[in-house]
Copies of this chain bind each other. A is one copy, B any other.
Amino acid sequence: MQLKADILGIDSGGKPIVFLNKLDADEIGVTASGRIRITSKNNTITALVGIATTVKKGFVGISEEVLKILKLKQHTLVDIDIAPFPKSLQFIHNKLTGKRLLYDEIHEIVKDVVQGNLNESEISAFVTTLHLQGLDLDEATSLAISMVNTGKKLNLHKKIIVDKHSIGGVPGDKTTLLVVPIIAAAGLLIPKASSRAITSAAGTADRAESMMPVDLDIEEMKKVVQKCNGCIVWGGSLELAPADDIFVKTEYSLYIDPLLLPSIMSKKKAVGATHLVVDIPTGRGAKMKSTGESDLLAKDLIELGRRLGIHTQCVITHGEQPIGYSLGASLEAREAFGVLMNKTNVPDLVDKACHLAGSIFEMVGKKNGYYLAKEFLRTGKAEKKLREIIALQGGNPKMNLDDFKIGQDIVQVKAKKAGQVLWMDNNALVEIARAAGSPKDKGAGIVLNKKLGDKIRVGDVLFTIHAEKSRKLSRANDVLHDLEPIGVGERTEMFIHKVKESPVVRRSFVLDR
């Protein structure tokens, strides 16, 4: 049937959506979230349908996304017909019934996800199905390749390109801010695309952003890496594997992460990595709870890397407590910067960074990787390299520790009993930091005054909450009320907690990319 275009000036979040009056939708035979085909002057697109009482009969409400493709004028007549069911939906259904998916089938799904031909409910069903049915390494490989092929790629035309990734889950992990300059200072290419926080207090992109702009496009990223071997940019503005950015939204609300493997590896493949080290923090309160699980994950990552042509090694690291003494973008960046300047002593952070950088060195043939990495820190070469990167990405290369903006509204949390720090609750610390404003407010976060094993007297400051806004500080204080982020006591105390009738449910889920 023919309808008149009604240009709404509404941005529908990336998907091609049109709005129909209920009567026209019934006539076409389509319901909300269904699909129609719109044709105007030989241009045809498939769009998802919304039903709106504000669109008059005889009109079709056009979103900005559809306008961009069809280039309509107000009240232009367009042809509308019901769209056939997308083939990808049949493939999702096949997976639902336990069938394995072939590359062509997976590619059809990924393509429809990226082009906006599948609605939220359908994408969610796919992700849920992957979680419950599992995906084998063939399917993970297909997903990774398809996600690379539906996004942009970085072409550096070099024989060796290294990369580093953490599967995340341990707070305060500012390791990348050390590894990238160490590696780049050694003359190896490391085009690091990093993520912003999803469930954590800060992602590497958030940390880096308190020193320099990180939302470079892929051409700008290329120029920085060609000039100084490394960069630390936000992956979200590069359009590498855009399907993943869509899948992750569903994963977030369901606390599931079935696309972990293809998600990581597609982004590494898209930047052309040939050698990759993956950090797998392990321990209670991290994403991986036991070394057994972590070893199995490592095996899959290495095999997937092999199939994609990426030499991959994994490093299993302690994840029982935050890395270093800070959580929150600016606090963490300042801590890492202090280490690079040899002004701050953070032994666990340095140990971890040198193990990761050292593994990369050894993968490409350099000996004594760990000590080599340490030398780049000691001699200030890594600091010099980071300043180069800051300059090329548009920041101030002469910045100092005083230049980090830290929230000035603070609360000190003190010990009510004496003993020793027996445990730290990563989730609780993150929850408090987020209530205080992280990751949005870069200056918000937590400074840890004590860590595992430290002796505690009554009244000792355990940690300090920083906020940029007093409203958020008081929100953090409210959250703190219900939590025990740091456990102090004698080593002989056995009690964890009681479970009573109608147990209280606590959301604790780690999703990093």
Contact = CB atoms under 8 A, between A and B. Distances in A.
Contacts of A32: 13, 249
Contacts of A125: 124-125, 127-128, 250, 253-254
A296 interface: no
Contacts of A89: 253-254, 507
A33 interface: yes
Interface string A83-95: 0010101111100
Interface string A397-438: 000000000000000000000000000000000000010000
A26 interface: yes
A254 B312 CA distance: 37
Contact of A33 (B91, B120, B440, B507): B120
This chain's copy number in the assembly:
2
B129 A124 contact: no
Contacts of A52: 10-11
Nearest to A28: B440
Contacts of A371: none
Contacts of A132: 96, 128-129, 132-133
Contact of A253 (B9, B91, B122): B122
A51 interface: yes
Nearest to A121: B124
Interface in A251-302: 253-256
Nearest to A126: B128
Most chain B CB within a 10 A radius of its CB, from A27, A50, A125: A125
Contact of A122 (B13, B26, B254): B254
A505 interface: yes
Contacts of A128: 96, 124-125, 128-129, 132
A74 interface: no
A119 B440 CA distance: 24
Contacts of A87: 505
A443 to B, nearest CB: 14
Contacts of A131: 96
A42 interface: no
Interface in A47-94: 50-54, 64, 85, 87, 89-93
Given A96-B132, A120-B121, A10 B54 contact: yes
Contact of A250 (B11, B121, B133, B253): B121
Contacts of A122: 124, 253-254
A256 B10 contact: no
A122 B124 CA distance: 7
A13 B123 contact: no
Given A128-B124, A249-B121, A29 B133 contact: no
A31 interface: yes
Contacts of A127: 125
Interface in A8-34: 9-11, 13, 26-27, 29, 31-33
A96 B254 contact: yes
B505 A90 contact: yes
Given A27-B440, A29-B440, A505-B87, A51 B121 contact: no
A105 to B, nearest CB: 9
B254 A53 contact: no
Nearest to A118: B253
Interface string A123-167: 111011101110000000000000000000000000000000000
A433 to B, nearest CB: 12
Contacts of A26: 440
A220 to B, nearest CB: 22
Contact of A31 (B92, B121, B249): B249
Most chain B CB within a 10 A radius of its CB, from A50, A51, A505: A505
Contacts of A92: 254
Contacts of A33: 120, 249, 253
A133 B128 CA distance: 11
A241 to B, nearest CB: 19
Contacts of A11: 51-54
Contacts of A255: 93
Interface of A: 9-11, 13, 26-27, 29, 31-33, 50-54, 64, 85, 87, 89-93, 96, 104, 119-125, 127-129, 131-133, 249-250, 253-256, 434, 440, 502, 505, 507
13 contacts: A10-B54, A11-B52, A11-B54, A29-B434, A87-B505, A89-B253, A89-B254, A93-B256, A119-B253, A124-B128, A125-B127, A128-B132, A132-B133
Given A13-B51, A121-B121, A125-B254, 7 more contacts: A32-B249, A33-B249, A87-B505, A90-B507, A93-B256, A104-B502, A124-B125
**Chain A to chain B: the 6 pairs with minimum beta-carbon distance, closest first:** A121-B124, A124-B124, A11-B53, A128-B128, A132-B132, A120-B121
